[in-house]
Structure 1
């Protein structure tokens, strides 16, 4: 999906489920394909790529986890071993009212279907065997950008509606969660309500809040039924934070960093005190962006200002291990090589009222087993540099003697967050162990360092 918005469009990864509730699977051995898996793991994930960068066609390529492309010939033989997509790899996505998709070969006008190891693309019309349920394999918390209005969606508490009128997706009310129920997607707002088809917000999801996703290549769709007003871009939601001095400055008990002059001199939160964390994929260095679109930058004398444009957001010279400090007048600067009280800040993640952790081992969020719940509330404890997790029953995460993380404590148990990769966080206990998930979705605090298995997309 193309975007004229400020954020990065989501890479659309998904699983395809046939009429027998089995996932389309790409095997590593011989690049064979089948529909025999009952759950979505790495081999069941496919990526939607645009077939035409110019957007002149709605055709797409479908790429496996092995980097090979789905293709079919005129006789309906389906393969997934093509390194470079050609004409036989072009498919059209047809969305049905029941939320399912059909995939039609663009050059041969036949439909993809089949069961077990008999996957073919030969049907001239659509039957239940040629309909696939779509299970997104992306992090479900997103920002939504309107192509027509060139504005972002946000929850308007005053008007009690989901409005498309924000220049930037700022704050908790710009966060929307895609909830997959009964083959449809439901848009959940930050206050746990759901957008209904008549524009109202419902307390619980039902048939009126279920939507079908249709993905269009390019900036506009080529369909008689759709115009620009119906086109939206799903963008990744970066973590947004407020920072306040742990050691108060002046007379304020809690002093927030303000973007206007980038100094710690505010005693309440507003958009001016919210900064977006944008991690560089290669260097793992973090840039802080304000609601005006400017980035933190360093001056030659070590002062920190919020004046850099996007292409200058990473400092041209390393900070050499220096710490951010707040002077008594609130001015921010980098001076010391060792951290003391004036270098202590509390970072509060404000746009994840409900946090979903997506790990490497499983492409769903943390499994809802007898260990922990999949959807959790995240609380930042004021004046303490730790976080706690609680479930819908008010129980807190805790670590048992064998390292298993369970949701059973009646009192808060603190964890440390380490933001160390692109939109990912490592979670560490106060004893120094990192949380790690396994293939079964069981969560344990038994890792000694940061690795792919201990990083959680949030």
Structure 2
């Protein structure tokens, strides 16, 4: 399984959650991430404290986490820089106390329409940020305090692949992208606020999305959300009001399409 680095911030500006490197991460050695402006970062506690809190203004190693996928449950472990796992405690608090995996260290990633992500703990409750910045899994519904934003920080460049092939230019100097190519085009990833990323081609131009195609010819960036669905597969969603996902067609067409992630394309990256 490949390791990924990810960063989380609260939707309300209360903090980031992190471990190995997610600024929430998946499994690779961490890289430093650029903080987003949503007020505070979630961090794991340095010894001897074990609380996980969302009250930091800047990113350090403690604001980066590693996500580790459990294939049997389709859920995730979240590991800190101290090699401790986020763990659900008896009163619902989230602490970085466990040095071994357990059922109470598993979380569902529940992606929201606004591009944020919620964590559902082993008690079936959503993790929420309290006024003190501490995290508790005690919410039955998705409130604003349950929402976090996510950055995959060890992927400054993406190569996308689907069943039809790689994402690359249609032909020659044609800047339209298709998804049935034998060779790939590298995609630069730029971070913005609230989990938004921009995609840029090697020509220095940004992706431009129309109803029928995507071209790499714009001076103005368009926002997207990256949603981690599996260890090596992501969905990519427009941050525009259309909220459509990037979709691969059998004829190689590459465009914004479905609004339901269950019918959206899973991209290998």
Quick check: TM above 0.5? yes
- 1:257–1:264 CA contact under 8 A, matched in 2: yes
Matches within 5 A, 1:62-81: none
Which residue in 1 is equivalent to 2:176? 371
Query: Highest relative contact order (Cα 8 Å, sep 6+), 1 or 2?
Result: 2
Distance of aligned partners of 1:270 and 1:309 in 2 relative to their CA distance in 1, 3 Å threshold: same
SS in 1 for 2:195: coil
- Counterparts in 2 of 1:296-445, with a 5 A limit? 296-312=86-102, 314-315=105-106, 318-320=122-124, 322-362=125-165, 365-369=166-170, 370-372=175-177, 374-382=185-193, 384-402=194-212, 404-429=213-238, 430=240, 431-438=242-249, 441-445=252-256
The counterpart of 2:60, out of the listed 266, 270, 277, is: 270
For 2:66 and 2:222, the matched residues in 1 are separated by: 27
Question: Which structure 2 residues correspond to residues 246-265 of structure 1 after superposition, within 5 A?
Answer: 246-249=11-14, 254-260=39-45, 261-265=51-55
How far residue 451 of structure 1 moved from its aligned partner, in angstroms, is 5.5
Structure 1 unmatched runs, 5+: 1-7, 9-235
Contact 1:239 1:423 in 2 (8 A): no
Aligned equivalents of 1:329, 1:318: Cα separation in 2: 23
* TM-score normalised by the chain length of structure 1: 0.43
Residue aligned with 1:311, SS: coil
Aligned residue-pair number: 217
Residues 279 and 423 in structure 1, CA contact (< 8 A), matched pair in contact too: no
Inter-CA distance 398–456: structure 2 relative to 1 (3 Å threshold): same
Give the Cα–Cα distance (whole angstroms) in 2 for the partners of residues 360 and 452 of structure 1.
Answer: 14
Question: 1:298 Cα deviation (Å)?
Answer: 0.5
Superposition deviation, residue 253 in structure 1: 6.3
Question: What is the CA RMSD across the aligned residues, in angstroms?
Answer: 2.8
| Rounded Cα–Cα distance in structure 2 between residues aligned with 1:418 and 1:356 | 15
Q: Which residue is 2:76 aligned to?
A: 286
Task: After superposition, give the CA deviation of every residue in 1:216-258 in whole Å (9 maximum; x if it has no partner).
Answer: xxxxxxxxxxxxxxxxxxxx2x2211222232349x9621111
2:88, 2:122 within 8 Å by CA — same for their partners in 1?
A: no
Map 1:128-147 to 2 at 5 A.
Answer: none
**TM-score, normalised relative to structure 2:** 0.70
Task: Give 3-state SS (helix, strand or coil) of 1:268's partner.
Answer: coil
CA distances 1:150-198 after superposition (whole Å, capped 9, x unpaired): xxxxxxxxxxxxxxxxxxxxxxxxxxxxxxxxxxxxxxxxxxxxxxxxx
State the Cα distance separating 1:333 from its structure 2 match: 0.9
| Structure 1 residues 252-296: Cα deviation after superposition (integer angstroms, max 9, x where no partner) | 962111122311122221221111122223432222111222211
Q: Rg larger in 1 or in 2?
A: 1
8 Å contact from structure 2 (residues 196, 224) kept in 1: yes
Task: Give the Cα–Cα distance (whole angstroms) in 2 for the partners of residues 255 and 452 of structure 1.
Answer: 34
C-alpha distance in 1, partners of 2:161/2:100? Answer: 28
Moved over 3 A (4+): 313-319, 438-442, 447-453
Query: Corresponding residue for 2:10?
Result: 245
Gaps of 5+ in 2: 16-36, 46-50, 108-120, 178-183
Structure with the higher fraction of residues in strand conformation: 2
Alpha-carbon shift at residue 441 of structure 1 (Å): 4.8
Separation of aligned partners in 1, 2:89 and 2:66: 21
> Are residue 456 (structure 1) and residue 267 (structure 2) matched?
yes
